[in-house]
Structure 1
């Protein structure tokens, strides 16, 4: 299966949750947020949401401030 992570094509096995995908790539770190197919996916759902062929993930660092 192929997905896009920050516009780079990634190959992965099926079925795979978002959390497992990020963990395999050592990207499951505090302070990051994720958009899946252009919608924010709450971190509380990363363990249950399975990736599908062609999904587009955008992983970014959360910055606090004012």
Structure 2
């Protein structure tokens, strides 16, 4: 199966959760936020959200400030 992560193509197993995919890529870290197909996906759903063919993930570092 193929997905895009930050506009880069990646192959991954089917029935893989967002959290499992990020863990495989060594990108599962505190302070990260994620959009799945252009919609923010709450971190509480990363363990249950199954990736689908063609999904587009945008992973970014959350920065607080004024």
1:19-58 aligned within 5 A: 19-58=19-58
Structure 1: tracts of 5 or more residues without a match: none
Deviation at 1:42, TM superposition (A): 0.1
SS at match of 1:20: helix
Which contiguous aligned blocks of 4+ residues in structure 1 show a shift greater than 3 angstroms? none
- Compute the TM-score of the two structures, normalised by the length of structure 2: 0.99
| Number of residues of Structure 1 aligned to a counterpart in Structure 2 | 66
**Where does residue 61 of structure 1 map in the other structure?**
61
Query: What whole-Å deviation, never above 9, does each CA across 1:15-44 have from its counterpart, x for those lacking one?
Result: 100000000010000010000000000000
